[in-house]
Amino acid sequence: MAKKYAIESFDRVLRDLLNSDQIFGGKLIVFGGNFRQTLPIVHKGQREDYISASLINSYIWPHLQKIRLTENMRAFLDPSFSDFLLNIGNGTQATIANDKIQLPSSMIVSFINDDQQSLHTLIDTVYPSLSSFCPQNSTLINRAILSTTNDIVHEINQILIQKFPGEEIKYISFDETINPTKQADHGDFLNTIHPQDYLHIC
């Protein structure tokens, strides 16, 4: 997701530090990524801005040796979904009006009455029975609900926590400010922050 400008700056720094004209000062650098999934972030940018900021449009790109994975190890259990994603990435998936892609009915959870009811329907579809996943069942880690904001992630996590089997145990977080004199002013605020909620089940 790094913009090409950051990588080019890194190249120039290494060349300067090592007093070398070779790419990255002659050092071995390994990049990993998928341009189909993680393009650079350009605030309020258009399609051409994302492409322009990508590493493939840098003077560095021709100097890189490209190594491609040939098997998707996580797609063995759902080859039809894997093929669907690959067709979209290759531009071969059939489209409807205005070049839009129609999702198969098997991938759609219909909207029901209101947002809350639809959200619960989505959760029940992805996690039909949380008690059946526990304990020691890897099926759970292959399921996820993606969202655009942390607030919605937190809301979904709270709903799921209520569905977990067993008794709820609450642990109070211990947050401190760098400056101890500011603790009284900011302690409550620090406990309201939910940075990148993740769901962990043991």
- Which tokens hold the place of 69? 């994975």
Whether residues 128 and 152 fall in one domain: yes
Domain residues for the domain of 12 are: 4-63
Please give the pLDDT value at position 201: 40
Q: How far is CA 159 from the centre of its chain?
A: 21
Work out the pLDDT band at 200, boundaries 50, 70, 90. very low
Same domain, 36 and 96: no
Maximum CA extent, the chain: 66
Q: Name the band, by pLDDT with cuts 50, 70 and 90, for residue 60.
A: very high
Q: What is the mean pLDDT of the chain?
A: 80
Please say whether the dihedral angle defined by the alpha carbons of residues 173, 178, 179 and 185, taken in this order, is positive or negative: negative
Does residue 98 share a domain with residue 47? no
pLDDT at 202: 35
What is the signed CA dihedral for 86, 89, 94, 96, rounded to 10 degrees? Answer: 140
The 10s digit of each residue's pLDDT in 106-132 is: 888 888 878 888 888 888 888 887 766
Same domain? For 113 and 148 the reply is yes
On whether both 54 and 79 belong to a single domain, the answer is no
Mean pLDDT of 12-31: 94
Residues 14 and 52 in one domain: yes
- One domain for residues 80 and 136: no
Q: Are residues 49 and 81 located together in one domain of the fold? A: no
Long-range contacts of 142-148, Cβ-Cβ distance < 8 Å, separation of 24 or more: 142/74, 142/77
pLDDT for the residue 12: 95
Domain match, 86 and 173 both: no
Least confident of 1-10, 12-21, 56-65, 141-150: 141-150
Alpha helices in 29-78 (DSSP H): 47-53
Tens of pLDDT, residues 65-110: 998 887 777 677 778 888 888 888 788 888 887 778 888 888 888 8
Assess whether 150 and 200 both reside in one domain.
Answer: yes
Asked if residue 113 and residue 101 are part of one domain, the reply reads no
The pLDDT value given to residue 83: 83
pTM as predicted:
0.49
Q: Encoding tokens for residue 29?
A: 């650098």
The number of folded domains in the chain is 3
Q: How confident is the model at residue 61 (pLDDT cuts 50, 70, 90)?
A: very high
Q: Are residues 123 and 187 in the same domain?
A: yes
Could you count the other beta carbons within 10 Å of the beta carbon of residue 85? Answer: 15
Write the CB contacts of 51 (distance below 8 Å, at least 6 apart in sequence). Answer: 39, 57
What is residue 8's predicted lDDT score, i.e. its pLDDT? 95
Q: How far is it, in rounded angstroms, from Cα 173 to Cα 191?
A: 7
Check residues 190 and 87 and name the one with the higher pLDDT: 87
Token pair belonging to 115: 């947002």
